[in-house]
Amino acid sequence: MPAHPIGFIGIGNMGLAMALRLRDRGFAVSVRDIDPAREAAAAASGASVHASPAALAGACELVIVAVVDAAQCEAVLFGADGAASAMRRGSCVMLCPTLGPATTTALAERLAAVGLDCIEAPMSGGPARARDGSMSLMVACADAVFERHRAPIEALSSKVFRVGTRIGDGARTKLVNNLLAAINLAGAAEAMALAERVGLDGARTLDVIAQSSGQSWIGSDRMARALAGDLAPRAHTTLLAKDTGLAIAMANQAGYDAVFGRVAADTFAAACEAGCGALDDASLLQLARERPPLR
């Protein structure tokens, strides 16, 4: 096991599950979050809580950033009391949020300028799979850096995909994945709303789909919760709204017209505008149910 604790900045639904996963595997874990309740939950589970990203980073050779977006990454790494200024040269930052490729590359370059390595490792699978180690990690970094931190990475995930050594390829892979996830989820919500509109039983129809050609993991997972009226947020609707926007921007930059992706992005944007942003993204069924009839 590493001589130093593994640091987590951001212990929301995913970050806390990951931190507890490493704790269960025998790693010492340090945490920092802006929410005192999240820090209290981590402390009750045996993690060491620090007052700032810098205070945490000084004790860690690997700091895992599990915040939401680029602005939060900027703040926790390079803002007041940011982690980068406190880390020892040769230490490493592992970036787990879904970011644009250019953002990830720029952050890695700034870390390199102060002597820090970077692992790009966007994640997929949700809190339950983060907790049991079955989530996916899409890892891009230098081979030597990966080998140095292989133990905690493989403890976090049984599905580690080495997508390359070029920083930015993790983001590209994750955005392609999330765009398809959004398309699948938007389609699943529409299909289930149609099933109900023509008088079918939603749960029975979903059971057929889950064992037939229309099945998708995200569709089955989210629609089962939506049909039960459970919209407690495991993955806020705002997250795929953000990610589809990043994916469409990447497609536009590449000169590719992502037709279905644009429809999915518009669907998630509409869901947020309708007040579903803070709900689980299973709330797309609610939006699809409310679609006015054809005239």
Return d(Cα 113, Cα 155) in angstroms, integer: 29
Q: Can you read off the two tokens belonging to residue 205?
A: 């129809």
Q: Is 174 a catalytic residue?
A: yes
- In 3D space, the residue among 36, 112, 34 whose CA is nearest the CA of residue 95 turns out to be 112
Q: Which of 21, 32, 174, 222 is catalytic?
A: 174
Cβ-proximal residues to 272 (8 Å cutoff; 6+ apart), any chain: 237, 238, 241
3-state secondary structure 239-293: HHHHHHHHHHHHHHHCCCCCHHHHHHHHHHHHHHHHHHCCCEHHHHHHHHHCCCC
Q: Are 115 and 90 in contact (CB under 8 A)?
A: yes
DSSP state of 47: P
Return d(Cα 63, Cα 30) in angstroms, integer: 9
Q: Can you read off the two tokens belonging to residue 233?
A: 């947020």
Amino acid sitting at position 129: R
The beta-strand segments (E) located in 60-197 are 62-65, 92-95, 117-120, 123-124, 136-140, 159-164
Strand partners, 162: 139
Active site positions, annotated: 174
